[in-house]
C-alpha cells in the first residue's frame, strides 16, 4: 500500500487519515517498536517515525527531550531501519521524519535505498526545502519513495506551488508559526493555509503542529486530509502503553467525526 | 572598492559558495531570509544606508581601528608583526561592525525586536549595545555553561537593557544557543530579526555578515601599505564561526601573494578529540542552515566542540571558509589551548595589550608561522577582541590569585 492509497482509503471513508509520530529509539529501540505497534492497533493510518537528532531546531521541549533520551540510550541510525521494518512487518505504513544532516552523512542514495528496503514509504524533511533537494529528488525516484515537503503560513503562493510540485504522497502543512508541541487550540492560520494549498494542488494535505485531542483532530479533519500528532504521543509514552492506545483511539474517533474535506 | 561592492567571491543567488552554503532551514523561515536578502540588496546600494552605517562605525564604534606594530612580540615570532586592533572598538571586539549593520537593517525592515545567540558574550554585548542605541528590544540566548564562565558579560547585557535567556538544552553552549534562537525566530518571525553573530547560517547571513566586517580588511590593507610600504606575506586570524577572519581576509583576497591563514581552536589537541577545529578535522554536513564543514559522528550527530575560548567553541564554521579551504585560497590549522594561553600571556607582557583568548589563537598561529617567514617576513594578525572578559579564565589557568605569574 502506498501513501496515495492511505489517503484514498480515508477519503473513501469520508474521513481524514490519522498520522502518529514517535521517535525511533524512544524510550528504547524495542520500546519504540512496541508503542508504534500500539498506535497501529489503535487507529493510526500512518506512522511518522522520527530520527533522533542532536540539534532539533524545529522541535519544542517534548520532542527535544525524547530525542536526547533516545540518543543517550545508544540509538544509532541503523536502528531506524529496524524500527521501520517492524512497523511494516506489523502491517503498518511508515514514513520517516528526519533532519537533513544524518541523511547527508549516511549518503542520500544509501539512506533512500535502506529505507525502501525496510518497507518505508517516504520521508518528511523539515529542514530541507525543494530548492536544495536535487540529491533527494533523484534518490527518491530511484527507490520509489514519496517526498513530503513542508509549507507554512509564511509561505508565498509561489513557494506553495513549487513545494507542491516537488512533493508526492502528501504535503505537510505546519498549522502555526512555531516549533512542535501540543497546544490547546487549533490555529486559525491552519484552515487558511490549507485553502491556499488547495488552489495549487490536488495532493493530500496533512496538518500538524500542536494537535493533542480528538476534538482538535475533528476540527482539522473538517478541512484537511490528514491529522498529524506528535508531541502528544511522546508525552503519552511517559504514562505507558494504555495512555498511548487511549490517545490513538480518541484521535481516530476525532478524524471520523468531521465531514471529509473534499 | 567600497565595503558593499559586489566581489568575484560572492555566492550565487541562492547563497552557494561552490557546494557550500545555501539554505537548510524550515520553509517557515524562507520568507524571512528572503525579506532579509531583498532588504540587504537594496541597502548595500543605498547611499543613506551606507552613510549611516559608516557614521556609526566612526562616531560610535570608534573606527578606523589602529594597526599597531608589535616589535617585542615579534622577537618571539621571528618575523615582523602588526596587529589589527579590533580590540579597541567600542564593546571590545570586531563584533560591533556586524551588529550595527544588522540593527540598521532591522529598522529598515520595520521590525522592533532582535534576538541573538552568544558564546563568549561578545556578540551578545555588541547586540545589546546596538539595540540600546537604536531603540530595539533585545533578547540574547546564551548556553547555561557560558553564562557561568562569562558572568560579567551577562551583567553587561542586562545593564544595556537586554533579556538574557540561559539555554539548558544539549551541551548548553553556543550551538544550543543558536538552536534556541532559531526556535524563537520561527515562532516570532513577523516582528523579530535574528541578528546572527557570525558569517554562518542560511543565505544571506554569510554574505552580509562578511560585508559588514569587510571594513577590517579594507582598513588593514591601507594601513599596512602606509606603515610597511608593502603587502604582508600573510594575514592571520582566529576561526570559530569565522566572522573576523572572513572580514580581514577579504581585504587581501585578490592579492594572490598574500597568504590567508585561519587558526582554529585545537583544544587539548586533535588526538584528544577535545577541540573545535572544524575545518581541520570536520566533515561536510548541514548545521544551522548551511552546508559547511561540521564536527559530527559517523551517524551525522553533531558533536560538542571544546575550547578554552567560549567564542571559538562551535562545531560548525561559515560556508565561505569551507569554500576557501577547498579551493586552496586560505589555509587553516589548529593551535591548542596551551599554545593560545602562552600567546595570551606573551602579548600582555611584551606589548601591554591583553588580547581575547579567541584572538590569542591567531597570535599563537603567528608564533608558529613566523620562523618560516624569517626576519624579512611581514604578518598582519587580526586582534579581534580584548581580553578583559577572559580574566576569570586567566586567573584560574595561571593561578594569578595565588601569586602566580603568567
Query: Which mean pLDDT values do the consecutive 10-residue runs of chain B (406 residues) have?
Result: 87 97 96 96 97 98 98 98 98 97 98 95 96 98 90 94 94 90 93 97 98 98 98 98 98 98 97 95 97 98 93 94 98 98 98 98 98 97 95 93 80
Q: Mean pLDDT across the stretch A61-88?
A: 97
Of B27, B188, B301, the CB nearest to A151: B27
Q: Is the pLDDT of residue A169 over 90?
A: yes
In whole angstroms, give the CA distance from residue B374 to residue B234. Answer: 12
In whole angstroms, give the CA distance from residue B124 to residue B139. Answer: 9
Report pLDDT for A262.
42
Report pLDDT for A34.
98
- Compute CA B57 distance to the chain's CA centroid, rounded to the nearest angstrom: 17
Report pLDDT for B266.
98
- Compute CA B279 distance to the chain's CA centroid, rounded to the nearest angstrom: 15
Confidence of residue A259 (pLDDT cuts 50, 70, 90): low
| Contact residues, chain A, for B28 at CB < 8 Å | 58, 150, 152-155, 174, 177
Options A13, A41, A45, A59, the catalytic residue: A59
Contact B186 A159 (CB under 8 A): no
The model carries a pTM of 0.96
Of A55, A106, A129, the CB nearest to B175: A55
Report pLDDT for A260.
46
Element (H, E) at B67: strand B67-69
Residue B284 at interface with chain A, using a CB cutoff of 8 Å: yes
Its ipTM equals: 0.95
In whole angstroms, give the CA distance from residue B171 to residue B168. Answer: 8
Q: Which of B300, B302, B303, B319 to mutate to test the interface with A (most CBs of A within 10 A)?
A: B300
| Contact residues, chain B, for A197 at CB < 8 Å | none
Contact B300 A156 (CB under 8 A): no
Cβ count near A209 (within 10 Å): 27
Contact B300 A178 (CB under 8 A): no
Who has greater pLDDT, A258 or B295?
Answer: B295
Report pLDDT for B1.
58
Residue A157 at interface with chain B, using a CB cutoff of 8 Å: no
For B380, the 3-state DSSP assignment is strand
All three cell numbers of A90: 506489523
CB contact at 8 A, B315 and B296: yes
CA separation, residue B249 to residues B50, B67, B89, B245, B379 (Å): 21, 15, 19, 6, 13
Q: Which of B299, B304, B315 to mutate to test the interface with A (most CBs of A within 10 A)?
A: B299
Residue A60 at interface with chain B, using a CB cutoff of 8 Å: yes
Confidence of residue A261 (pLDDT cuts 50, 70, 90): very low
Strand order in the sheet with A17-23: A146-148, A122-124, A94-97, A46-50, A17-23, A226-229, A205-208, A171-174, A150-151
Question: In DSSP terms, which residues pair with A98 in a beta bridge?
Answer: none
In whole angstroms, give the CA distance from residue A55 to residue B128. Answer: 26
Residue A11 at interface with chain B, using a CB cutoff of 8 Å: no
Residue B190 at interface with chain A, using a CB cutoff of 8 Å: yes
CB contact at 8 A, B256 and B379: no
Report pLDDT for A177.
84
Q: Is the pLDDT of residue A258 over 90?
A: no
Amino acid at each position: 500500500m502506498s501513501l496515495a492509497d492511505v489517503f484514498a482509503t480515508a477519503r473513501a471513508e469520508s474521513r481524514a487519515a490519522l498520522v502518529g509520530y514517535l521517535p525511533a529509539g524512544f524510550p528504547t529501540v524495542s520500546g519504540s517498536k512496541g508503542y508504534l505497534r500500539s498506535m497501529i492497533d489503535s487507529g493510526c493510518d500512518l506512522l511518522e517515525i522520527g530520527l533522533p537528532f542532536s540539534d532539533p531546531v524545529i522541535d519544542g521541549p517534548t520532542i527535544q527531550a525524547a530525542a536526547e533520551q533516545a540518543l543517550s540510550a545508544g540509538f544509532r541510525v541503523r536502528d531506524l531501519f529496524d524500527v521501520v521494518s517492524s512497523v511494516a512487518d506489523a502491517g503498518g505504513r511508515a514514513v520517516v521524519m528526519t533532519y537533513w544532516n544524518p541523511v547527508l552523512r549516511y549518503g542520500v542514495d544509501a539512506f533512500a535505498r535502506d529505507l525502501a528496503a525496510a518497507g518505508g514509504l517516504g520521508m518528511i524533511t523539515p529542514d530541507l526545502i525543494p530548492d536544495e533537494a536535487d540529491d533527494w529528488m533523484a534518490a527518491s525516484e530511484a527507490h520509489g519513495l514519496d517526498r513530503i515537503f513542508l509549507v507554512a503560513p509564511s509561505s508565498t503562493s509561489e513557494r506553495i506551488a513549487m513545494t507542491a510540485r516537488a512533493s508526492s504522497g502528501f504535503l505537510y502543512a505546519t498549522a502555526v508559526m512555531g516549533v512542535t508541541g501540543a497546544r490547546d487550540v487549533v490555529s486559525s492560520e491552519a484552515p487558511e493555509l490549507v485553502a491556499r494549498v488547495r488552489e495549487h494542488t490536488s495532493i493530500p494535505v496533512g496538518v500538524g503542529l500542536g494537535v493533542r485531542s480528538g476534538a482538535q483532530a475533528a476540527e482539522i479533519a473538517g478541512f484537511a486530509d490528514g491529522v498529524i500528532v506528535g508531541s502528544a504521543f511522546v508525552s503519552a509514552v511517559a504514562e505507558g502503553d494504555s495512555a498511548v492506545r487511549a490517545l490513538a483511539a480518541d484521535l481516530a474517533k476525532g478524524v471520523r467525526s468531521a465531514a471529509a474535506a473534499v | 572598492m567600497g565595503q558593499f561592492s559586489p566581489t568575484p567571491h560572492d555566492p550565487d543567488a541562492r547563497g552557494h559558495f561552490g557546494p557550500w552554503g545555501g539554505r537548510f532551514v524550515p520553509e517557515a523561515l524562507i520568507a524571512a531570509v528572503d525579506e532579509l536578502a531583498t532588504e540587504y540588496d537594496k541597502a548595500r546600494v543605498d547611499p543613506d544606508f551606507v552613510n549611516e552605517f559608516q557614521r556609526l562605525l566612526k562616531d560610535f564604534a570608534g573606527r578606523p581601528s589602529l594597526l599597531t606594530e608589535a616589535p617585542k612580540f615579534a622577537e618571539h615570532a621571528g618575523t615582523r608583526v602588526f596587529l589589527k586592533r579590533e580590540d579597541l572598538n567600542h564593546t571590545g571586539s570586531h563584533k560591533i561592525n556586524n551588529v550595527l549593520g544588522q540593527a540598521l537593517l532591522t529598522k529598515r525592515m520595520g521590525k522592533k525586536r532582535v534576538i541573538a545567540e552568544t558564546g563568549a558574550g561578545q556578540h551578545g554585548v555588541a547586540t545589546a549595545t546596538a539595540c540600546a542605541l537604536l531603540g530595539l528590544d533585545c533578547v540574547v540566548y546564551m548556553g547555561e555553561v557560558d553564562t557561568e564562565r562569562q558572568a560579567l558579560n551577562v551583567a553587561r547585557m542586562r545593564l544595556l537593557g537586554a533579556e538574557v535567556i540561559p539555554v539548558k538544552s544539549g551541551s548548553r553552549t553556543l550551538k544550543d544557543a543558536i538552536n534556541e534562537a532559531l526556535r524563537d525566530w520561527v515562532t516570532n518571525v513577523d516582528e523579530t530579526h535574528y541578528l546572527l553573530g557570525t558569517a554562518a547560517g542560511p543565505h544571506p547571513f554569510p554574505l552580509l555578515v562578511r560585508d559588514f566586517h569587510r571594513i577590517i580588511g579594507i582598513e588593514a590593507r591601507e594601513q599596512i601599505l602606509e606603515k610597511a610600504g608593502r603587502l604582508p606575506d600573510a594575514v592571520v586570524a582566529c576561526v570559530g564561526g569565522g566572522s573576523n577572519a572572513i572580514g580581514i581576509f577579504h581585504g587581501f583576497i585578490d592579492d594572490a601573494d598574500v597568504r590567508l591563514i585561519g587558526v582554529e581552536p585545537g583544544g587539548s589537541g586533535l588526538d584528544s578529540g577535545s577541540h573545535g577545529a572544524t575545518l581541520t578535522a570536520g566533515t561536510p554536513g548541514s548545521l544551522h542552515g548551511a552546508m559547511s564543514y561540521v564536527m559530527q559522528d559517523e551517524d551525522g550527530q553533531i558533536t560538542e566542540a571544546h575550547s578554552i575560548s567560549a567564542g571559538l567553541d562551535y562545531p560548525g564554521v561559515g560556508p565561505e571558509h569551507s569554500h576557501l579551504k577547498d579551493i586552496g585560497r586560505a589555509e587553516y590549522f589548529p593551535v591548542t589551548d596551551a599554545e593560545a594561553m602562552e600567546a595570551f600571556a606573551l602579548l600582555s607582557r611584551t606589548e601591554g595589550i591583553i588580547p581575547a583568548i579567541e584572538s590569542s589563537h591567531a597570535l599563537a598561529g603567528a608564533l608558529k608561522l613566523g620562523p618560516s617567514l624569517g626576519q624579512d617576513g611581514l604578518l598582519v594578525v587580526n586582534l579581534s577582541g580584548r581580553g578583559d572578559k577572559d580574566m576569570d579564565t586567566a586567573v584560574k589557568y595561571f593561578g594569578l590569585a595565588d601569586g602566580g605569574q603568567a
